[in-house]
Structures are given as structure tokens and as C-alpha cells.
Structure 1
Amino acid sequence: MRRPIMICVICMAFVLLTGCWDRRETNDLAIITGVALDKNKEGQIELTAEIHSPGESGNGGGGKEGENNNQGGVQSAVLQIGKGSSISEAIENLSEKLPREILWSHAEAIVISKAFAETGISDELDFFVRHPEPRLRSYVFISDGKAKEILTLRPSLERSVSEALIKLAESEVLMKATLFDLMEMLKEEKGAIVLPMIDKLPPEEGQLPSEPIAYMHHSAVLKQGKMIGSINDQITRGVLWFRNEINESIVTVEPDEAEGIISMNLLKGRTDLVPEIDDQSLKMTVKIVTIDDVIQNQSSWDLKRLDKLKALEKELVQKIEERLTDTLDIVQKEMKVDIIGFGEEFRRRHPKKWKNIKGDWDEKFPTVQVDFDIDARVLRAGKGSET
């Protein structure tokens, strides 16, 4: 009896030890680390892929199609372009130019040109969501010029352009959005999206054209998947305040009596939006609590005195309210697009009443009355002595 049992166990072991039948060797793969999307004069999509090929020496140069893009030798980065009437066709064209199988699971950044975004991005990004390999946590950016020009840059501190872009996004100084965030915003009824914009600094004296760094500036505003405009850095930080996403902020005030400036760094900030609906009249109370440290005092105020510290807190409240009011003037009154989350709060807090106004939200949003309730505290006045 034992013999048949042992034979069965051995046979089962052979079945379980069949190995990795679908294993793919890294040296046989073209690993996509970044993607740039442009449209050419013929209306075709140009997909530029930043490819890391394991086993290469990484001593190429330049940034042209099909050439290595990092002279530093830290990492082999090759750019290759595929063209087509859709993302899928462009990728098929790209595959024809590569001797290796494409792997999408390491794609970290998707850069879309402004010209592309103005024609609409919803349908084309559908590929990156439906395909099983691309990461939904990949960061999405809008470039001021051609997107592929961003990928030709050679960062001095990071191994690749896409890695440098990820570091910029994760710094949380301005806006950031992943592919998952973007698709969630596209699903929302208002269809309002705000994405970080990137550009390249002009080369300094003695630098090669590919040596400038990419930097974030402004934010792109999209409605129903199409870019309709942009907002500057200050307005972007105001949007982050409204959305309770502010993590980095330095506020500088110049009180009339202080004869100089005082700068404060945000330690903690929280925003709560409290919506009210009264006979079709819409009101939003913006409640903010912020705790800051003084990081520079060039004024005549002695911040060790309680009265001066309280006066500074009032100045801080006024400055934050001014910034948020400026944001409303642009976003609510001028652009008339809800990228600050008012509609979502009305839907969440008043779901039954929201059903009656959501169809007219584009017209209702500019009419929402906004009140501010800001509690600003200065935790530490700094280590400096009296000025």
C-alpha cells in the first residue's frame, strides 16, 4: 500500500516543480520607464518611449530617436518613437522598431504635450488603464512644449528623466496626479481636472541643449478631458488649500508697522469645506486650521512679545484669505471650472438636494457664496534674537 502512495506523491511533486513556464529574461526585454505623447502635423499620435535596456553599457549620447540618452553612463536610456492614428497603433509601430519585447510595468511617468491635451486625452489614455501592465500609479504631466523634448533631457542627479519627474511630483510643492487620479477625475460628474505642467529651463552658459533640467510650473486645467487653460504657482497652491492637499507652503507678510518682512513655513494645515443649500442658494464655508513656524524675520518686531505674535497670526490669516480669494477670482469667476472640489462636497453632504442641481452645476458653481473661517497659529518664532 505504501508503494502506490509514494509513487503518487512523487508524481504530484513533478507536476508542482515544472518551473516558470512564462518566465521572461530581463535581457530580452525593452523596459519602458517613461512615455511622451505628441501629435504631429498630420494628426498622428507620436509616442516617444524612454527605454531602459538591461545589459547595455549606457555610454551613448544625444536624445534623437533610437539613440542613447544618457552620456553619464549611470543608466542606459534609449528613446524610440512609434506613430499611429491611436495609442495602440503607435505602440504597434514602436514594437516593429525594437528587437526586444516591450515591458510596460516599469513606466513611471506619462508626459502629454499641451497641444495634445487641448484636443482631448480621455480616449487615448484608455489604453494605459485597460492594458494589464502599465501602472495606475504612474504620474501624469502636461508639457508646455513638445512632450518628447522633456524625455531628451539628461538629469544630473537622477538615473533617468522619468525618475527626475517622479521626484518633482513627490516633493508635493505643487500639484501631482497619478494615472489613477486622472481616471477618477474623468469619471466625476463635473469632469474637472488639474494636472501639473512641466517645462525645461534654458541651458546655462557652457551647457549642451540636452543638459537643462525639467521643472514644474503652473498647472493645466482640463474640462471633459480637454485642456482649457492653466493657472500659475500661487493659484495652484490656493487650489491645494481648498482641496486639503497643501503640504508645503511658505507665506511672507509685510505688516505696515513692522518695517520689514516676516516669512513662515507651514507645519500643518487642514481644510474642511462645509456646504449649505437654502432654497437653491448655495453657500460654502471654508474652515482652515494652520500651524506655522517663523523661518525669517527681517522686521522690527520682537516676536518674543505675545502681542506681536498675535498680530503676526492676524497677518497670516489675512494673507491666506487673500490667496484663496485670488484663487476664487480665477477658478470660480473667470475659468468657471470646479477644480477645488465644491461639487463633490455638495454631493457628499446633501445627496438628495444635489440631484436637483448637478445638471446645472456649471452655471451654479460661479454663484456659490464663499465665507472663510481661518485659525492660524505661529508655533515658534525662531531661534534668532531680537531684531
Structure 2
Amino acid sequence: MRCKFRAIKKAFTIFLLFGLTSTFLTGCWDCAEVNDLALILAAGIDKGKNENIELSALIFIPSPQQSGQESGISSGSSSGKSFVRSAEGETVADAMARLQEALTREIFWGQNEVLLIGEKLAQEGINDQIDFWMRHSEPRIRADVFVSKGEAKTVLKAMPQLEQDASKQLRKIVKTHIGIKVTVKDLSQMLSGASDAAVLPWVVNLSRSQMDTTKKVVPVISGAAIFKQGKLAGILSDKETRGILWPRNEIKHGVITISFKTEKGYVSLNLLRSKSELVPSIKKGKWRMHIKTKADLEVIQNTTKLNLFDPTVVKKVQQKIEYEIEQRERSAFSEVQNQLKADIFGFADEFERAFPQIWKQKKNQWNEIFPDVAVSFDTKVKIKRTGMAKEKRIRGVER
């Protein structure tokens, strides 16, 4: 009898605990079905009318899952599932609220991976807009940032050939690591850093005449936009942009082609790895920055008669490459340091770490000091692989 009573008491206790626990389980009361969302794939901010901010969004509307198909969060521009919608407001926050008012579905920022800044807005200043993007909990701070020639919304409306939309087109380009890659978080750190300068990829739309038979407009990265004190200061060409990638340790892939006056043909080499180091010094009141670069390459094509199995020839090729790399860097430094006077290389941070006491006294004068910093280069290149095609041809001749 006692055992039966204990069993009943135990069962009642379990039931009571289950009942009390269930009161705290609210379930997915605030969840949203994907069919009720408007997914933001990319956002663009432009200068609007009457000092307003215009927010444009590349929006993807998910379609109901069909039989035998999987529903995915990807743009379907060709089927009309994605479109660009714009709204103006006194601030970005205000424009975002007005954009939501114009849509019947709830805006979801979780898929936003691109932020485009229009040229006019960039010229007036972007500090307030980036500050909002960092403060707001919904837009992603890992989104890639670009500056567009003309209006940002024009780039968002572009329809690339190979990719589904402009957002995916730009993200695929920066993933190659051939050019500059900057996220919202990176940009915020640059704008608030000691150098007070920033660099962003410069985006242009290829004209239809440049794309042969296609009638679609394609956004491409064509150089870099330089910012000083939060405002657009100038544009670097593709060649100058490649020059700033070496000291910033941002060049991961690339092909270098060289030639010699005494030889017909070219030698093309593929970059395997590279690393640069900034070494600051202050002597007798003179600020100097020594840039040490090491790079490993492999030969991928040789149309000259040079025998790359000869150590003397290899050394000659390496010296030529070192010269070419330094020339690209000097060209970039000449534009950025002498013309734009914007420290996009992080010199200020290096001097602050190496000479904290001097920097504390001179930091307010950095804009005057930076153009006069003496820059020197020490580039070391090694050819790791020369290939076998040329050696086989030479042996064949000898036989």
C-alpha cells in the first residue's frame, strides 16, 4: 500500500513540475515565415532631395515552396523575384522606416552583404551614415562596402551576365582578393583611427558598348576611392590601387608580367604569397617609414629566349620584378601622400605604437607631418618554380 502511495506521489510531482515548466515555454511567438519577409540583398545610400538621404534596397521576395523543389534564399532576378525600391528621409533611419512603410512584407536585413555609397554623398561625408550602420542591430557590419560612380541605386539596378544580381557580382569580385576588400566594421575603424583616412573599392557600370552582344549593364571595380576626414578626397586608378595593396598586406593573388629591353617577349609570374612590414623611425626630427616586402612567385609563361634554369638569369628576373613592385608602390605613394595627403597605409598607427610619447605630443599635427614622411623600400622576391617547358625545348635543341 505504501509503495503504491509513493508511486502516485511521484507521478503527481512529475506532472506538477511539467505543468509549471510549460508556463515558461512561450514557443516561437515572434517568428516570421520566410514568405512574409522582404530580404535585403544589398543597400545603397545616395544624396536625396532637399538635403535628404535616399536609401535604396535590392529586395528579394521569396516564392512559396513548390512541389519537388527546395526553397532557397537567393536572388531570382531573371524570374522577377528581385527588384530595387527606394525611399527618402532626413536620416538613414528615417529613410529605412519609410522604405518599410512602402512594403507589405517585413524587411529582413540578415542577407544584406553589400553597402553601396553614392558619389555625391561620399563627397559630402559618410561618418554619420556609417555610425548608424554600426549602431543599428539589424544591418550586418560584415557587409562589404563600395563607393559608386554616380548614384548607388543605378548600380543596384544593374543586371550582370554571369551572376543573378549586382550584389552577388560585387561580392564575387572582392572574394578573389585581387583588389581591396573593406567591411562596414573595417571602414568604421579606419574613419575613427589615428590616420583619419580610409580607402574603399570604386565601382563603375560598364557601358553596353563595352560588352559586345549583351545589353545588360555590369558593375565592376575600377580602382579605389580615398577618404580623408570622412569625405571623398580622390580616386586611384587600377594600377595605383595595386600599388597600395602591397604595403597594406592585402594582395593575395595576381600576375606580374615583365619584359627586358634586350629581349623579345615577356615573362609572366603568378604570386604565391607576400608579406609587407612597416618599420617607422624618427631621427633628428625626421619621420621615416621603411617598407619591407617579401614575395614568392612562380613562372607561368615565358615567351623570351631566357633560360630560367640559369641562376644568373633568375636573379636578373627577380631584380626586375622587385623594381616593378617598387615602381607601383612609388606611383601610389606619390598620389596618396603628395596629392591627396591621406594616410591610408596606417602609418599613424605604426608611429603611435613605436613612439607613444612623441606621438602623444605630435598627433594633432599628423596631417602636416604625413606628407613629409620619407618613405623607403626594401623588396625581396624569390622565384620558387620556373616550370619545365623551356628546359625541355632547350634540351631538344642541344640534342
TM-score by length of structure 2 reads 0.89
Contact 1:70 1:154 in 2 (8 A): no
What secondary structure, in the 3-state scheme, does the structure 2 residue paired with 1:372 have? strand
Q: Distance in 2 between matches of 1:288 and 1:109?
A: 32
Q: Which residue identity lines up with residue 283 of structure 2 in the other structure?
A: D
2:282 aligns to what?
Answer: 277
Select the structure of larger CA radius of gyration. Answer: 2
Contact 1:219 1:233 in 2 (8 A): yes
Matches within 5 A, 1:305-384: 305-384=310-389
Q: Distance in 1 between matches of 2:240 and 2:144?
A: 21
1:29 aligns to what?
Answer: 37
Residue 145 of structure 1, aligned match among 134, 150, 162 = 150
1:319-343 CA-partner distances (Å, limit 9, x unpaired) = 1111111122111122111111111
Residue 207 of structure 1, aligned match among 211, 214, 218 = 214
Q: Distance in 2 between matches of 1:42 and 1:16?
A: 51
1:171 aligns to what?
Answer: 176
The CA deviation at 1:56 is 6.5
The CA deviation at 1:200 is 1.2
The CA deviation at 1:15 is 2.9
2:301 aligns to what?
Answer: 296
1:154-209 CA-partner distances (Å, limit 9, x unpaired) = 2233233212211111111111100010111111122100000111111135533x
Contact 2:52 2:90 in 1 (8 A): yes
Q: Which 5+ residue runs of structure 2 have no aligned equivalent?
A: 1-8, 66-74, 395-399
Distance 1:44 1:349, change over 3 A: same
Contact 1:121 1:226 in 2 (8 A): yes
1:260 aligns to 2:265 (yes or no)? yes
Q: Which 5+ residue runs of structure 1 have no aligned equivalent?
A: 58-68
The CA deviation at 1:70 is 5.7
1:88 aligns to 2:96 (yes or no)? no
Q: Which residue identity lines up with residue 168 of structure 1 in the other structure?
A: I
The CA deviation at 1:313 is 0.8
TM-score by length of structure 1 reads 0.91
1:72 aligns to 2:72 (yes or no)? no
Distance 1:375 1:72, change over 3 A: same
1:97 aligns to what?
Answer: 102
Contact 1:109 1:138 in 2 (8 A): yes
Contact 1:37 1:113 in 2 (8 A): yes
Q: Distance in 1 between matches of 2:46 and 2:388?
A: 51
Matches within 5 A, 1:115-134: 115-134=120-139
The CA deviation at 1:16 is 4.9
1:276-331 CA-partner distances (Å, limit 9, x unpaired) = 11232111111111111112212221112111111111111111111111122111
Residue 237 of structure 2, aligned match among 220, 232, 237 = 232
Distance 1:271 1:326, change over 3 A: same
Equivalent residue pairs, number? 373
Q: Which residue identity lines up with residue 171 of structure 2 in the other structure?
A: I
Contact 1:56 1:76 in 2 (8 A): no
Contact 2:195 2:346 in 1 (8 A): no
Contact 2:78 2:164 in 1 (8 A): no
1:6 aligns to what?
Answer: 14
Distance 1:71 1:24, change over 3 A: closer
* Aligned-pair Cα RMSD in Å: 1.9
Identity of aligned residues (%): 35
Residue 20 of structure 1, aligned match among 1, 6, 28 = 28
